[in-house]
Amino acid sequence: MDTFLLALLVMVAGALVTGLIALRPVSASTNRTANLIGPGAAAVACLLGLHGLFSGGWGSAESFLLPWGLPFGAFALGLDPLSRLFLLPVFVLGITCGLSGCVSLRHSDPSEHNLGAHWLFYLLLLLGMTCVMTARDAVFFMLAWEIMSLSPFFLIDFNDRDRLVQDASWVYLVAAHLGAVLLIAFFALLWQESGSTFFSAMAAHHPANATALFLLSLFGFGAKAGLVPLHVWLPEAHPAAPSHVSALLSGAMLNAGLYGIIRSFDFFGPATSMPVWWGWLLMAMGAITALMGILKALAQSHLKRLLAYSSVENMGIMIMGAGIGLVGIHNGSAWTAALGFSGCLFHMLNHSAFKGLLFLCAGEVLHAVGTVDMARLGGLQKRMPFLGALFALGAASIACLPPFNGFAGEFVLSMSMISSLKLPGLEQQIAMVACMTALMLTSGISAAVYAKAYGMTFLGQPRTHFAAEPHVPENRHLLPLCIPAAACVLGGLFAPLAFSMVQPTLDFIPAMHEGVVEEARLAIGQTEGLLRHISLFGWAGIGLVLVLALVRRVLLARRGVKRGPVWGCGYQYGTSRIQYTPASFVEPGARIFGAVMGTRVRSVKGEGLFPARASLGVEAPDVVRGKGYTPLFQLMERACNALKIVQNGLVNIYILYILITLVALLIWGVA
């Protein structure tokens, strides 16, 4: 715990120093200093934090309490396995994104960017996330939650001269606060009922209106996690933010929503008293989120927006896992419950690794080419082989392909669903089968999505001259990206070991207390054994690939390899523009799933004997945003504008309002 507190102190100190630098007039030298101190402090704090996570024993629980001078709340920290597990990606990505950001921001223009402010908010975000995952007091939790929610606004708004970036940060801010309102109501209700702001006291109390509390927590935390229909801020905020920020937001901050949902199971009374429809609601929302997210991702041609939608999908899969866990507990099936929760948490770890990696890679592409619009990219694998290999690794991992880590997580989740075929009741079984089909369809489509993402960006011929002559990053600048890349590979090849990190959390998942823990541990142990088979196949597969490659090399040793033009159906004068584009790649899919994902295929066919112009585009506007939120907010704007009549700037009228109010209150008081 001591090193952990020290880590918090380093973050605060780093934030203070970078804040002081930010207050000084911006120049190249202040930017340079800030760009050294900010990532340095982040790295030191995260390393200390990691040491703190592992030093006390991974499975143990510690706590720290410091009363503060405020009338309520306290500085109450706790480190239990659940907190440790969620802090792991925070710290690892904290280092990775800090270093990567340090590299990518080193040449930023002092007249446009104040790096002191940037790193101040970066450190505050880290601090906020760390405190959210360890807070054991509601007031402190909300304080940390606000720090965590507000600082990304300033991070996203980095390129604040860009109109689109401004819009995106506003969307983010509104979404973050709508979620926070629900959470304040959630904790206020709990406080009112239990009479204390401490989590332990809240957990000891059995609330009367548990369902209302559950819905508040689901939508409040779900807004952070990107649950449909509260996901609209993700596809706006992630493309606008600098990539190291997107990576941290997607890989670590979204998890805070999931953490909140799982932590709040504590407060709803005994696990068996939770109605089973909560679990089904979680599963249904998770399945819808996952399917919608991946179908939207399929249609995107903007790489970072694609990744953002894919984050929505992955959060959906995790929420689905949590739902399976709840359903399992309710039915007394330890196997289903344990695998559901552990699959959810395992997938969380895996997602942090590959999504962090992919966003950082996208950032390098943006830096090298100046755009991440896939219709303008292509051929980057040849020009930036190391970056391409990293992206390919991330793509294979996130598409849940063996032998990488994504598959291991998917396997655990699938096993939890299969074990639930033994649940009593036909409707439960059929619902579970429907969710399983949704999961399989999602992972099938995600393979297509990432084949597109990698293929269009890195393979083929460059579609524009920007892509043909990228500003190639030096390999040593890509070293931070190797951290999540290594996690992707090792998490798959040593899947049992990675999975065993999740195990201690299960005793601490509040809903797991009711006597099923022993059996759950057995289920986890057996699954670990299954993962050992999978990692064995991973090694064998890699070995086989190497052997075949060697065979090919030996066979070709004397005959050699020639290069020739690619087959173009006899037509030799094609340019790179005859290649398949992102739009044409997904056109068949857009036609099949168009009704569901609201995509429109816009095709202009060439006509006449000598067709001149023809085009194909796939548009995927966010239906929830366009049909749901935009009209709603426009309505609100009109209502607010109507209220402007009362605000006319005349002081005497305002005094009249006060008088009227007083009189009204007097009358009310007398009556």
Partner 1 sequence: MDLRLYLAHFVLALVLAPLPLGIIAKVKALFAGRHGKPLLQPYYDIIKLLRKGEVIGEGTTWVFLAGPVIAMASAVAALALLPLGGVSSPFAFQGDFILCAYLLGMGRFATVLAALDTGSPFEGMGASREALFGAIAEPVLFLVFLALIGTASSLGEGALSLSALFNGFPVTAWMHGRPELVLLIFVMGVLLLLENCRIPVDDPTTHLELTMIHEVMVLDHSGPNMAFILYGSAVKLWIFSTLLIGLVIPPLPFPAQAAASLAGTACIACLVGVVESVMARLRMHVVPALVGLAGSVAAFVLILTLVR
Residues 115-154 that bind partner 1 (CB under 8 A): none
* Helix or strand holding residue 602 (H, E): strand 600-604
Among 186, 278, 411, 508, binds partner 1 (CB under 8 A): 411
Taking the complex as a whole, the smallest distance from the CB of residue 456 to partner 1 amounts, in Å, to 8
Q: Does 470 bind partner 1 (CB under 8 A)?
A: no
Q: Which residue has the tokens 């007398």?
A: 670
Closest Cα partner for 243 from 147, 115, 360, 391?
A: 360
Q: Which is nearer to partner 1, 285 or 400 (CB)?
A: 400
Taking the complex as a whole, the smallest distance from the CB of residue 580 to partner 1 amounts, in Å, to 3
What does each C-alpha distance from 172 to 149, 197, 310, 574 come to in angstroms?
9, 28, 18, 44
Taking the complex as a whole, the smallest distance from the CB of residue 461 to partner 1 amounts, in Å, to 4
Among 141, 407, 499, 508, binds partner 1 (CB under 8 A): 407
Task: Give me the 485-514 binding string for partner 1, x by CB under 8 A, dash otherwise.
Answer: ------------------------------
Among 98, 152, 260, 379, binds partner 1 (CB under 8 A): 379
Among 36, 150, 189, 418, binds partner 1 (CB under 8 A): 418
Among 270, 588, 621, 631, binds partner 1 (CB under 8 A): 588
List the interface residues with partner 1, window 421-460 (CB under 8 A): 421-422, 426, 429-430, 433, 436-437, 440-441, 443-445, 447-448, 450-452, 454-456, 459-460
Q: Which is nearer to partner 1, 184 or 440 (CB)?
A: 440
Q: Which residue has the tokens 């559901």?
A: 340
* Helix or strand holding residue 527 (H, E): helix 517-556
Parallel, antiparallel, or unpaired: how do β-strands 75-79 and 62-66 relate? antiparallel
Taking the complex as a whole, the smallest distance from the CB of residue 495 to partner 1 amounts, in Å, to 11
Tokens found for residue 291: 């399917």
Q: Does 562 bind partner 1 (CB under 8 A)?
A: yes
Q: Say how far residue 218 (Cα) sits from the centre of its chain.
A: 17
Q: Does 378 bind partner 1 (CB under 8 A)?
A: yes
Among 556, 635, 660, 665, binds partner 1 (CB under 8 A): 556
Q: Which is nearer to partner 1, 276 or 536 (CB)?
A: 536
What does each C-alpha distance from 669 to 28, 500, 655, 658 come to in angstroms?
64, 64, 21, 16
Q: Which is nearer to partner 1, 271 or 438 (CB)?
A: 438
What burial letters (b/e) apply to 481-501, b meaning 16+ CB within 10 Å? Answer: bebbbebbbbbbbbbbebbeb
Distance CA 217, CA 212 (A): 9
List the interface residues with partner 1, window 535-554 (CB under 8 A): 536-537, 540-541, 544-545, 548-549, 551-552
Q: Which is nearer to partner 1, 434 or 659 (CB)?
A: 434
List the interface residues with partner 1, window 518-537 (CB under 8 A): 526, 529-530, 533-534, 536-537
Taking the complex as a whole, the smallest distance from the CB of residue 621 to partner 1 amounts, in Å, to 22
Q: What are phi and psi of 135, to 5 degrees?
A: -60, 140
Q: Say how far residue 617 (Cα) sits from the centre of its chain.
A: 28
Q: Which is nearer to partner 1, 67 or 424 (CB)?
A: 424
Q: Which is nearer to partner 1, 561 or 640 (CB)?
A: 561
Q: Does 161 bind partner 1 (CB under 8 A)?
A: no
What burial letters (b/e) apply to 127-157, b meaning 16+ CB within 10 Å? Answer: bbbbbbbbbbbbbbbbbbbbbbbbbbbbbbb
Among 83, 130, 381, 397, binds partner 1 (CB under 8 A): 381
Q: Which is nearer to partner 1, 9 or 549 (CB)?
A: 549
DSSP annotation of 241 reads S
Taking the complex as a whole, the smallest distance from the CB of residue 282 to partner 1 amounts, in Å, to 21
Among 288, 579, 594, 601, binds partner 1 (CB under 8 A): 579
Q: Does 410 bind partner 1 (CB under 8 A)?
A: yes
Among 69, 555, 613, 651, binds partner 1 (CB under 8 A): 555
Radius of gyration, alpha carbons of the chain: 26
Distance CA 420, CA 106 (A): 52
Among 192, 424, 465, 561, binds partner 1 (CB under 8 A): 561
What does each C-alpha distance from 310 to 103, 250, 449, 632 come to in angstroms?
26, 10, 9, 26
For partner 1, which stretch binds (CB under 8 A), given 341-349, 361-369, 376-384, 515-523? 376-384
Distance CA 333, CA 331 (A): 5
What does each C-alpha distance from 254 to 86, 122, 340 come to in angstroms?
11, 16, 19
Taking the complex as a whole, the smallest distance from the CB of residue 605 to partner 1 amounts, in Å, to 15
How many residues at the interface with partner 1, by CB under 8 A?
83
Distance CA 288, CA 315 (A): 11
